[in-house]
Structures are given as structure tokens and as C-alpha cells.
Structure 1
Amino acid sequence: MSRIIDDVSYPAVLLVGKTGAGKSTLGNLLLAQPYDNGPFQVSADMESVTQECGTAKISIDGVIYNIIDTPGIFDTQLVTDKILEEIAKTIKKCKYGIKAILFVLEAKRFSAEQRGVLEGIRNFFGEGATNYIIAIFSHATKAQIYDRDIMRKAWNQPVCSFIEDIENRWGISPNSDYFPPDDPTHQARLGEIKAFISSMRGVYTTEQLEKSIQEQEKARRQKEEEEERKKQEHEEKLKEIARKEAEEAHKRKVEQMERERKAKQEYEENLRRKQQQEAEERQRQMVEKLKQEERERKIQEENLRRKQQQEAEEQYRRKLEQMRREQEREEELRRQREREWELRRQREREQELRRQREREEELRRQRAREEELRKQREREENLRRERERQEQQRLQEMYRRQREEAERERMRRMEELQREQERLRRFQEERRRQEERRHDDDCRIL
């Protein structure tokens, strides 16, 4: 039986692949043991029985190696982080390095799942590990085991590309049901694998693994920093747009008030001139037609009073209408800001859904960082929600202040209008008293 790794005293040969690919079977065959009754335990079902790395010694061309069987990488039944941690601990114990990495894959069409396993191995070990990988095809047909050319013809483009990347290092795991251990074909296939192992130059070291892990961590941090920077830029743009809109609205309001003030001054000036002309005309005709003028004057005063009252009422109605339109514009601006805020929230939710799908896809391919990334995402999500809540409170507070300011402005205008009506009433009353005094003086003169 294989033993749990404590110390690896020789260069190591690492068996990697997914559950059911035939790693343990290949390890037993390389040790010249029955494929199902050797040092490495073989499972008949799809659930992995290799939960920890095991090792056994093997001699190839007079050189002793430690052949190490690893748990299935990226199996859905296992926690990937624990498996990769177990493999990393094993590699750190290999003080003489990794001589070869035997990547065992089934001899069938190179599926997306197999590409995901290969990509996961590259990400975990780093690009430098490609120089030590030997592809071993398992579960091959009898014809494929017997003739390597038949196996080569069955490859599709991804397989060919992969084999080229590892400099044409590949072999076939023999099937003892087709070719017994003493069969020349069985021995030839195992001999080819051992020849590749012996011909490897150098070893894969712990330093290379540490460097790969550090590079993965650095890439993850850079990606998170870039996402945070883009998010901050987007928030700054939204704030700048809101500020400009508020400034434009304030500018329009000031211009409107200035136009109203000028119109009011012109109206008062015209009214004063008209009243002065009428008074001069009445004074000139007063001596000749006093009685007739008195009757006409009374009629004119009544008409003027009614006209002034109508004009005052019309002016008051126009101002009320203008204030109503301003309130409608303010309400429309508020609804527009609410729509923009809701649209921003919707975009953020869509972005969050898209990031969630990307994270799920990343989790499927690289479960090696699952637990750590999950905890990090939870902290980031809580922080983002807190910022959103604070931003929402700030916007609501700003909107409340704007409404209060608009209400105060409306009350101030109503007070100004009331003061204007009171002043007009006092002016009419004063004018009436002047006319009465003038009439009394005229009567005394007569």
C-alpha cells in the first residue's frame, strides 16, 4: 500500500488529473503491480477515493524516484482548495523537486471540461510547469494502445495544440484486459512513459510553485483594484452631471425673476404717466365744465378702479400661474432625477448580475481560490451596499432640502404679492382722498 507523504527523499513524479481518469491505475502499472491491487487504491465508481497524496518508490534506468498519486483536481464532489493545498504541501516536501508531471486524461474528444482541468493545472503550477508535463491517455481502445498512429489520428485541434505546447511528450496507459503485463505492447507503452520521465531536464521546484501562487494573487488584486477604480470614476461622473443640472436650474430661476422685476417696473411707470396725463387733462377742463366733469369724473374713477382691480387680479393670476408652472418644472426635475437614480440602480444591478455570472464562471474554472474569493466578495458586497445606502440617504436629504427651499421661495413670493396688493390699495386710497380734497377745494372756490 502507498503511504501518506511525510518526506520525499527522491525526485518526484506527480500523477494529476480528474477523478476516474486512471491516475492510480497508471501508478500501479508503472510500479509493475496489478492495476487494481497495487500500492495506489483504485475506485470502481466516479467518486474519488484518493483524498490525500500518497507515494511509492520507483526505479527508472537505475534512478529512484518517488511517484506521487494526487486527489482528483477540480472534482465537483471535493473541496478544491483543500485538494490544491494538499498538493502544494506535498510539492513543498519534495526537496529534490518534481521530475515530471503526468497529466492523465481519457482518450476521447477533448471536451470543455478537460480544457478546464488543463487550464486549472496551468494556473496552479504556473506556465513554467508546461516544460515538465507529459500527457498520458487512458481508457484507450485496443487498436489505439497497439498503434500510436491510430491514437494520433483521433485527436482534434485542441488536443493537437496541447501536445505541441508540451513538445510532443505523450504516452498511452495500457489496458491489462487487452494486453497483459507480460505482453510486448503493454511493456512498450510503459517504456515510452518511463523514457519521457528519464529524458526530462531539470526539475519543477517549490520556488516555482510559490512564484506561481504569488502571481495569481497579484493578478487577482490588480483586477479588484481596476474594478474599484472604474466604479469610482462612474460615481464621480454622476455627481458632476447632477451638480451642473442644479446650477443650470438656479441660473434659469434668477433670470426669470429679473425679467419679472423689469416688467413690474415698466408697468408701474406706464401707469404713473397715464394717471398724471389724465389728472392734467381733468384739471384743464375743470373750470369750463365743472358739473359735467364731476359726473364724468365719477364715472371714470369707477371705471379706473374696476380696471385697476382687474389688472391687479390678472397680475395676481399670472403670478400664481407662473408659480404653478415653476412647481411643475421642479416636480418634473425631481421625477427626472428619480428616474435617473432608478436607472443608475438598474445598471448597477445589471453589472452586479454580470459580475456574479463572471464570478461563477471563474469559480468553476479555478476553484483553487474559492473560499478566499468568497469571503473577499462578501466583504466587498457589504461595503458596496453600505456606500449605496449612504448615497441614497444623501440624495434623499438633498432632494428634501431642495423641496424646502422651493417652498420657502413660493411663500416669499406670495408675501411679496400681498405686500404689492396692499401698497396698491393704499395708493388708490390716497389718490381717492386727494381727489376728494381737490373737489372740496374746487367747491369752496366756486
Structure 2
Amino acid sequence: MARKTYSTLLATLLIAAVAFSCSPTNQALKRSKKLADAGLTYEATMASLEALERKPGHQKAMIQVKTYGEKEIKAQLREFERLADAGETVGALDAFVRARDLETRADQAGVLLSGTSAYLSQYNGLKRNYVKDLVQQGDQAMDQEDFTGAELLYARALKYSPEDQIFQEKWRGAVAEPMHREAHRLYATMKYRAAFYTWADMETVIGQSYKNSRQYQDSSVYHGMVTVGVRDILAPTRQELNLSQSIRADLINNLVRTDDPFIDWVDWNDQTRYQSNEQPDYLLEMEMTDWTEVPGQMTRYERQGYRREIVEKKDANGVVTKETVYHKVVYFDVDYRVYIHGALKFSLVDPIKRSILTSREVEEQSERIVASADYTGDPANLYPGQWGSISENKATDQVLTGQKGKLDSRFRTSYNPRIVDDMRETVKNSLVKKTSVTLIETLNSPLFLQ
């Protein structure tokens, strides 16, 4: 017993060790060591940093970052001095930046690397005139409205002076100005939606507003907003009417949650329509074109089996023994097949012109089979099997005792009418989702709202 326990413990530890060695962090550290052995210290340091960032506080990763990082920073600073003495300003600055970035990234990961501070004054002196020339060239490109060239030049200057706010502002101007002008052009041609999102994309790129972009976005929404009234769903039967009311409520909820600034969704039912003095810009008209249910359709399959019986036999000496006897019987596999199909048609209509802007139909279906079994006797003593004749024994007849568990599970399964309710909900939710997605795609199309 003790030997078995020891073997189990040993196997568990072996599995844990294999899993640990195959973890992404350890794989990255192994790759880092191979790179370092090949002389690629910079790549080795980066691989160790990735492992440490993936698993903060990992001791082995911190040691490798410290070891390879210090070695690489010294190498980059030697390269900085060599290139600076040779008059290769760009190469020297890039070498210092690589060393500085390594220090910064390692510090963020919790490992202290140093060395660049001793060369900082030399670096600042070397970059001063070069960065100044880059900014001047960027200003000239801006004057010539070469915004792409200016953006690249300012980005290069920021690489060497990332904290300089003047350079940051110049870079933001080079990036934002062409997008700002394009948004104004769209706004002037009454393409308010496109203009709004152009300004929004611009602010995402530069991280803040530019000039009067916020005011123009508000103005775009004011001039470009439309109201869409959601009509009641036409349904020919009482069941479809009840379902359609639930579908409509869920659909309105989905549409409102899109938070589209240009669309105001209105619950335009019959009561609201008669009480309102204003007409929505567009109407969403819907119709349940199909709802088919085929619940509880049963199919029975005749199966061959055996009924087990334990009989007592008494020999000539009066000794009683028990013997298991199998009798051929027939039982039934039963399948309850439930099928539901739903279809919803919707149209976006201009109520003034009575023109249909778009019309789509979505559909969904669901089918479930609930398996069970039927037998007139005691299922506990029923076994699956195969035989050629119920009245004649043959060599090919056999009792499939290995399949007893599968047969018992079928007997434990019973038809549950709640399955139909679950299927209705599934089909209904799918119709709502498909309608929402299709409608939003239509409304977001440039052919609809510009």
C-alpha cells in the first residue's frame, strides 16, 4: 500500500514538473538562454523581459533580465561612444535609445538596470542640433502641407526627446490636420455621420480633441440625427402575437443599447402613433412570416434484448444453487423529436415617400431529439443483445452486457415538455439577434446615413 502511494506521488510530481517546464514563461526563458549563447544579447534580454512581464516576480526571469540586460546596455553604450566619435550621429543616438528603452522597460518590470545616466549629457549634446534640424524640416513640411512627411519627422524627433511637449504638440498637429480638414469637407457636404466618426478617429489617434472638433461633433449629431419608430409586429395567430410582443421588446432593448448618437429609437406602437403629433423620420415595420412547431413527434424502434432471471436449482443431493438465465425479449428505443422554425421579415420605410429603403427576412430553426426506451418488464433486468430468432438459439446469439449502462441511461431519460419552451426561447433570441445585427449593418451603411 505504501509502495503504491509512493508511486502515485512520484507520478504526480513528474507530471507537475513536465507541465512547469512547458509553461510559456519557461519556454521564453529557454529561448532567451539560447539567444544569449548565440551572442544575441539584445534579443535574449527582450525574451527574458517578455517572460517576466508574463509572470511578474518570477525569480529566474528577473535574474536573466538583470544579467543579459546589464551586458547589453554596456554593449549599446560602447557602440554609442564609438559611433559618436566616428561622427555617425543617427547610429549613436539609436544605440543610446535602445539602452535607455531597456532600462525603462526593465524598471517597469521590477528590475533595476543602470548605465545610461553617465552618458546623458553627451547624448543631449549630440541630439540637440540633430533634433532641431528634424523639427525645422517638419515645420517646412507642414508649411508645404506635406502632413505625412511632417508626421514622420516629428515622430523621429520624439524618439530622441519623448518628453518634449512642444514636439508632441507638433506631432499631434501633423496627424490631426489632414483628418480635421477631411471631416470639415464631409460636414460641408452634409455627410454628418462620416464627419463625426472622422473627428472621433482623429481624437483616438492623438489622444485629445483638436481645435474645435468637439463642437463640430455635437453639431454633426444635431444636424444628422434621425428618429426611427419601431412598429408593432404583425402576427396572424395568437401564439405568434404573444411571441412577437416579446421579440419586439427585446429588439428595442438591443437597438437602444447600441448607443448610436445619430439614431433615436422610438416605441411607435399604435397607442403612441395616435397620440403623437410628429412622425418619425423612418419606420421599422415587421411581420412574423412563419412560426412552425412540431412538438412531441415520437418514433419507436424495435430492439433485440435479453431479460435476466436468477433461478434456483436443486441437485440430487438436495443442494440448492443459483443460476443466471437470459430470455430473449423485445424492447423499444423511443425518440421524441421536437422541431421549431421561426421567420421574421422587417422593412425600413420612409413614411413620407412610402418608399422601402431596405427589406430583409431572418429565420432560425431548432430541432431536439430526446431519447428514451420502453419495456413492459423490469428495466433493471433488461440487457441489450442480438439474436437471429426468438424461438431458436444460434451460435451468433449474444448478450451485450457491456452496453447495459448506456441502455439504463436511456430508460432514465424522460420526455420533458419544458424542452419546447427552451427551444422557443432559443429561436426567439436568435431572431432578435439576427434582426438587430442586420438592421444595424443596414443603418451603418454609407448608403443610409452619411
TM-score (norm 2): 0.19
Q: Which has the higher strand share?
A: 2
Bigger radius of gyration, 1 or 2? 1
Q: Which has the higher helix share?
A: 1
> Which structure is higher in RCO with an 8 Å CA cutoff and minimum separation 6?
1
TM-score (norm 1): 0.19
